[in-house]
Amino acid sequence: MQSLPSFKRVVTGHDDQGQACVAFCGPTPNNFPLKAVPDTVFYEVWNSIASPALLDNADDPTDKSLQLSPSDNGSLIRVVDIPPDSVQNQVSAEDAAAAFAEIGEAHAGTARANPRHKLMHRTETLDYGIVTEGEVWLVLDQEEVHLKRGDVVVQRGTNHA
């Protein structure tokens, strides 16, 4: 098995005198390779459970099991390494269902008979996708968009893969 790439995460906080300091610095400690879709890895960077977010020196909120969507009124940021279509196209309907169960939202999968993509899904969340390396196709119900490095998707609760 190849080693996972690392992403440096710097999280600031306050010391006992109220001065800005580094609370966490290093690779993302909570990374989740999906068993059901090989070479797919979720790197948890940070999350909040409320809005407005608490700005305290609490423990690392990513130290929990992987959950696709943030909590109500919460937010999350993660990096997702997505394998090429040559891997994704080999995923069976059962593996796709297992992948959504593995990330805590078995109900999110929307692929039915003759799906546009086996990993089509929908969550009632506002998501931002930023292509940092390579290229990917955003698959929607009736159209597809080719995305390259630097492109950003604002995903507003729509069905997609």
Q: Residue 3: pLDDT band by 50, 70, 90 thresholds?
A: low
Q: What is the pLDDT of residue 9?
A: 94
Alpha-carbon span 128 to 77, nearest angstrom = 9
Q: Do 40 and 80 form a contact (C-beta atoms < 8 A)?
A: yes
Give the range of the structural domain holding residue 151, as residue numbers without chain letter. 8-156
Residue 133 located in a structural domain: yes
Count how many domains the chain has.
Answer: 1
CATH number of the CATH domain containing 125: 2.60.120
Residue 81 located in a structural domain: yes
Write the pLDDT tens digit of every residue in 72-124.
999 999 999 988 877 777 788 888 888 889 888 888 888 876 678 888 888 88
Residue 35 located in a structural domain: yes
Average pLDDT over residues 52-64: 90
Write the pLDDT tens digit of every residue in 65-74.
999 999 899 9
Q: Do 99 and 87 form a contact (C-beta atoms < 8 A)?
A: no
Q: What is the pLDDT of residue 117?
A: 84
Is pLDDT at 45 greater than 90 in this prediction?
Answer: yes
Residue 2 located in a structural domain: no
Residue 1 located in a structural domain: no
Average pLDDT over residues 126-146: 92
